[in-house]
Amino acid sequence: MDWFRCVLASAIFSLSFMSFRSESQLKSLDAEDLPQLPEVVRLTNDEEFEHRPVWHPDGKRILFARHEDGGNSIHLYLMDAKPGATPKRITKRKDPEYDAVVSPDGRQMLFTAVAVSGTQGNLDLALMPLDGTSDPKIVAGDVEGKLSHQDWAAWHPDGKRYAFNSTQEGNQEIYLANIEAGEPPERLTQSPGQDVHPSISPDGRFILFATDRWSGLELARLDLKDKSVTRLTESPGYDDYPAIAPDGKRWVFVSNRSGNPDLWLGSADRPPSRLTDTAEPELFPSFANDGKSIVFVSGRNGQSDIYVLTLP
């Protein structure tokens, strides 16, 4: 499984090096800090690496992936959003699985399923009931027998469609597909670079995503009606992992614009506000339906655990 550890390590830890700028350049960006940083509560403390936690629509549980066995395995768990709660394993798969998201009705999940053959691995998207009553079904995989990677699913609010990033036509682009297979996925972006990590607005009208089309890594808005792309950030560092709030007017994202990957709150009518300030990376933020609670992974306290931040 060395190949898999390398892929994940590259995806996660390269964040500290992407679009590197000097400290003076990073701190020169026009931005606002909240008068007081929000309260943060630690949920896990298991000496394992947690990956992309997301809220269940009920606001009481969190779905996430956990690296285990020294990074040789990664599996999906569901846990109550309480400190010290015991996570429950969802699937019975032996191969790696991660980047899961819960359907709007709370009954199903989409996740990245790694199919391993020898030393080769492939990333597909799988669908299965959240209660584990049936086996996963691949909904997005290789196209015409060509090896490709499908990853980072995001549910459309209608519960019938989902966005994701894929290399099926070469470089990473954003696609929109139906849960019920039939028509090929619709390609939404056209860039010679990388377009990744989509988040769909609650009204289903637009998608936020990260892109390197302007060099570095910035956030962009894609209108689902006319497919126009609007640049949202212009950071001297990198901006990534956007997650749209339930009101559709704000978004949380990760940025190293102040020197270290922290959480920031963005909106259309004011500069971004800094939500965290730690010496270790903060990653994978996700809004709860209450619009105030944000779950994320942090390396604070010496290990990567799940935390919940409550906005004032």
Task: Return the CATH number at 39.
Answer: 2.120.10.30
Distance, CA of 312 to CA of 291 (rounded, Å): 11
CA 42 to chain centre: 19
Starting at the edge strand found earlier in the chain, the sheet holding 293-298 runs 39-42, 305-310, 293-298, 282-287
What's the pLDDT tens digit per position in 208-253? 999 999 988 999 999 999 999 999 999 888 999 999 999 999 999 9
Alpha helices in the chain (DSSP H): 2-13, 23-26
pLDDT of residue 24: 36
Distance, CA of 220 to CA of 233 (rounded, Å): 7
CA 20 to chain centre: 22
Does the structure show a pLDDT above 60 at 106?
yes
For tokens 């549910």, the residue is 155
Model pTM above 0.75: yes
Question: Which residue(s) pair with 156 in the sheet?
Answer: none
Distance, CA of 92 to CA of 271 (rounded, Å): 45
* Contact (Cβ atoms closer than 8 angstroms) between residue 65 and residue 113: no
pLDDT of residue 117: 53
Can you give the residue range of the structural domain that contains 93? 2-310
Number of domains composing the chain: 1
Pairing state between β 270-274 and 32-33: parallel
Q: What percent of the chain has pLDDT over 70?
A: 86
| Summary mean pLDDT of the chain | 87
* Contact (Cβ atoms closer than 8 angstroms) between residue 110 and residue 100: yes
Does 25 or 292 have the greater pLDDT score? 292
pLDDT of residue 180: 87
DSSP code at position 143:
B
Q: What is the distance between the terminal CA atoms of the chain, rounded to a whole angstrom?
A: 43
Does 8 or 139 have the greater pLDDT score? 139
Distance, CA of 285 to CA of 275 (rounded, Å): 11
CA 11 to chain centre: 12
Does the structure show a pLDDT above 80 at 121?
no
pLDDT of residue 71: 67
pLDDT of residue 116: 64
Lowest mean pLDDT among 3-7, 124-128, 227-231, 281-285: 3-7
pLDDT of residue 215: 84
CA 29 to chain centre: 24
pLDDT of residue 193: 86
What's the pLDDT tens digit per position in 168-205? 888 999 999 999 877 889 999 998 889 999 999 999 99
Would you place residue 120 in the very low, low, confident or very high pLDDT band (cuts 50, 70, 90)? low
Starting at the edge strand found earlier in the chain, the sheet holding 218-223 runs 195-200, 206-211, 218-223, 229-231
Does the structure show a pLDDT above 90 at 261?
yes
Distance, CA of 156 to CA of 103 (rounded, Å): 9
Q: What percent of the chain has pLDDT over 90?
A: 69
